[in-house]
Structure 1
Amino acid sequence: MTDTYGTDGPSTRCVKAASAQPVPGQPVAPFPITASAYHLSDDETADLDTYGRSSNPTWRQLESALAQLEGATSALIFGSGMAAITSALRALTAPGTTLVVPGDGYYQVRAYATEYLARNGVNVVAASSSEMVDAAGDADVVLAETPANPSLDVVDLHRLGMVCRSRNARLIVDNTAATPLGQQPLSLGADLVVASATKALSGHSDLISGYVAGSHPELLDAIARERLLSGPIPGAFDAWLVLRSLGSAGLRFERQCYNAAALAALLDGHPSVSRVRYPGLPGDPAHPVAAAQMRRFGGLVSADLADAAAARDVVQRSELLVASTSFGGIHTSVDRRARWGDDVDAGFIRISAGIEDTDDLIADVERALHGL
């Protein structure tokens, strides 16, 4: 694939993005600024911080770092990934708009689109990853998630971007699973990137955050206005925690991807597993597209076990696997997605690879699978 990441490696990019400006006598690490009110200037036209719902210096540091990592000119942070997605959709859709959302992606996005946007006059179309390019032919706004969660299918962003451009449709890409270290949708034709920073970028399962990034000022301005008016903002301390975590995101994501690939290889063909999905597996249906547009294949693996009891048994027999929803943390976690209403079999599990030593993790999972 064409390298759009520049000359620096992933960890170098993360350290640079998360670092404070080198000012003699000032701390090397950025520090949080928690404030709801600021001293006002006598110059009422001055572009200064005035109120904590509209701006914060720590937000700006984090937004600058995220924009650098996504290859964008600017970014906006939110109190959650869903807040980022819903704010972008409210800003870009209107009654009569046709919106395409992922049919095999995060279920709450579909729920929001059908329960709220459709009720307000937006024509909502749910399309799976394999249907997304065709569905975009009739769309005004397309939201693609790739790799999709939890199916881990992959959308051809170059093809989708060309279709959207041909009809002046806006393309938003949810980059949560891949992260900007694994994929850069803006370079592949997306107008905006949305993501949950709750996952691998912060990576410690201890905060909720999201963001929108892009290089179209009019789109970012509209979303910033939506954020100001509706108020889905992050706390300054949570923003600082994300910023602090970004410095190590390259190292953590590298290990997560390595562990995910090792787990996928173990599960692929295992007698207790009927199907494995991981874009990095050469035999995966999504691998050709993923190899063309992704630098790393992510930390998520999905697998089908016999039933719900088998999924529970794997976790109970393991010393390292954690039964937990969400993903991207330092612990390897297992989530049986049918419990949340996803359209999957009862034994379908999504595994989020952590940063444990690979040999230890593989040995532990092998023991847990034995005798299922």
Structure 2
Amino acid sequence: MTDQGFSTKAIHAGWDPDARTGAVNVPIYASSTFAQDGVGGMRDGFEYARTGNPTRRVLEANIAALEAGRFGRGFSSGMAATDALLRATLRPGDHLVIPNDAYGGTFRLIDKVFSEWGITYSVAPVVDVDAIRAAITPKTKLVWVETPTNPLLNVGDIAAVAEVAHAAGAKLVVDNTFATPYLQQPLTLGADVVVHSTTKYLGGHSDVVGGAIVTDDEQLDADIAFLQNGAGAVPGPFDAYLTMRGIKTLAVRMDRHCDNAEELVAFFSAHPKIEKVLYPGLADHPGHEAAAKQMRRYGGMISVQLAGGREAALDFCARTKIFTLAESLGGIESLIEHPGAMTHASTAGSLLEVPDNLVRLSVGIEDVDDLLEDVRQALA
């Protein structure tokens, strides 16, 4: 499938019409166990649904193809994928580097759970390769990058960071949730591992929770597979099916997300109540050059800082009508949130604390005129 276009792979990779029935879509294999042809005689490698499920296998192959990777593994959530990846790569005494504006859930897991196992971490801006290099120690095993970051939408130069990480003997992990494989493919730029919350743009309809890991490293994939089976944080077949159904329209949805976001960015940039617009597509964005080099477009996420401070930010969130006040992102519907009090509350008082006048918008695929009118009246 390597020479086919993105949408063709999104629709077809991992599955051919069923040989017996001709079914175009992969069936939902709702079975917890599989009959064996004698002791140890598994059919196509299936024995127990935690270990492997045919619907999940197709999803894993599909996501791997979209990320131009060899191996894909599905998980029950993005955090389950993050946890498995950290446990597969880190041991007590090891060190990792994370963004200074990492997703709050990622930070909480590392700071509150892995720190108790003797794992240490340093923070560095993803936009500053020299700062990342300076944060690396002789014990660094991972450099963890989100690009764009959540929620400040900073962009790291994946190829440059990969070079720095590899020179130190560390692996580069890229959380590609915001960009999706439609907008960027980190493995082709030198990353060792890609992680996703498939809950977001890949599923795309706010109706399923999931996660995924993609790599070209056969040994690392084997280590992740062991934890996937041994710890059991796997997606069910219904979840895998829904995620695949969303992936089939990823390209057309992402283009509409980007179209709508660009118009809203133009509106916010000219509005007197908006102190700052954070969007990689803006020429004055500190990561614009890297984004232009490695991304197809600039995404459907926007963050803004309100001139009136925290109260103005909370008021803006409370007054929208089409933008729903809710956590999560990447669905067809538009969402708005206050990161400091919601998704990133766990970073309060830390080096990763977010500005209290910050509002994050996940721009959906509604009619853009309606979205513009909604934010206009909310700021009035």
Interval containing the TM-score (normalised by the shorter chain): over 0.9
Residue 87 (structure 1) aligns with: 84
Aligned AA (1:56): N
Q: Distance in 2 between matches of 1:13 and 1:364?
A: 36
Which one of the candidate residues 13, 23, 31 is aligned to 1:17?
13
TM-score (normalised: structure 1): 0.93
Q: Report the alpha carbon displacement of residue 13 of structure 1 after superposing the two structures with TM.
A: 3.4
Higher mean C-alpha displacement, 310-319 vs 185-194: 310-319
Aligned AA (2:17): Q
Q: Report the alpha carbon displacement of residue 45 of structure 1 after superposing the two structures with TM.
A: 5.6
Aligned AA (2:7): S
Which one of the candidate residues 354, 363, 372 is aligned to 1:362?
372
Residue 259 (structure 1) aligns with: 260
Aligned AA (2:196): A
SS at 2:369's partner residue? helix
Q: Distance in 1 between matches of 2:263 and 2:236?
A: 37
Q: Deviations over 1:142-198 (max 9, x none)?
A: 111111101110111111111122222111111000000111110111111001000
Residue 309 (structure 2) aligns with: 307
TM-score (normalised: structure 2): 0.91
Q: Report the alpha carbon displacement of residue 6 of structure 1 after superposing the two structures with TM.
A: 5.3
Residue 217 (structure 2) aligns with: 216
Higher mean C-alpha displacement, 99-108 vs 52-61: 99-108
Aligned AA (2:23): P
Aligned AA (1:109): T
Residue 153 (structure 1) aligns with: 154
Structure 2 CA distance for partners of 1:278 and 1:168, relative to 1, 3 Å: same
Contact map agreement 1:33 1:58 (CA 8 A) in 2: yes
Higher mean C-alpha displacement, 79-88 vs 264-273: 264-273
Q: Distance in 1 between matches of 2:15 and 2:313?
A: 42
Percent identity for Structure 1 against Structure 2: 36
Query: Does residue 106 in structure 1 map to residue 103 in structure 2?
Result: yes
Residue 135 (structure 1) aligns with: 135
Q: Report the alpha carbon displacement of residue 97 of structure 1 after superposing the two structures with TM.
A: 1.4
Q: Where in structure 2 are the equivalents of 1:239-318 lying within 5 Å?
A: 239-305=240-306, 306-318=308-320
Which one of the candidate residues 16, 36, 42 is aligned to 2:38?
42
Q: Distance in 2 between matches of 1:304 and 1:28?
A: 47
Counting matched residue pairs gives 365
Aligned AA (1:12): T
Q: Distance in 1 between matches of 2:322 and 2:15?
A: 33
Query: Does residue 60 in structure 1 map to residue 60 in structure 2?
Result: no
Aligned AA (1:190): A
Contact map agreement 1:19 1:247 (CA 8 A) in 2: no
Query: Does residue 205 in structure 1 map to residue 206 in structure 2?
Result: yes
Q: Distance in 2 between matches of 1:156 and 1:134?
A: 16
Q: Deviations over 1:63-93 (max 9, x none)?
A: 0110110000110000000100110010100
Aligned AA (1:34): A
Q: Distance in 1 between matches of 2:205 and 2:149?
A: 22
Q: Report the alpha carbon displacement of residue 12 of structure 1 after superposing the two structures with TM.
A: 3.2
Query: Does residue 70 in structure 1 map to residue 67 in structure 2?
Result: yes
Contact map agreement 1:136 1:163 (CA 8 A) in 2: no
Q: Deviations over 1:82-109 (max 9, x none)?
A: 1001100101001221211222110121
Aligned AA (2:374): D
SS at 2:72's partner residue? strand
Aligned-residue CA RMSD in angstroms?
Answer: 1.9
Contact map agreement 1:37 1:52 (CA 8 A) in 2: yes
Q: Report the alpha carbon displacement of residue 296 of structure 1 after superposing the two structures with TM.
A: 1.9
Task: Give unmatched runs, 5+ long, in structure 2.
Answer: 348-352
Q: Distance in 2 between matches of 1:73 and 1:104?
A: 30
Contact map agreement 2:101 2:354 (CA 8 A) in 1: no
SS at 2:61's partner residue? helix
Residue 328 (structure 1) aligns with: 330
Which one of the candidate residues 348, 353, 359 is aligned to 2:358?
348
Q: Deviations over 1:110-133 (max 9, x none)?
A: 221122222212222222323334
Query: Does residue 32 in structure 1 map to residue 28 in structure 2?
Result: yes
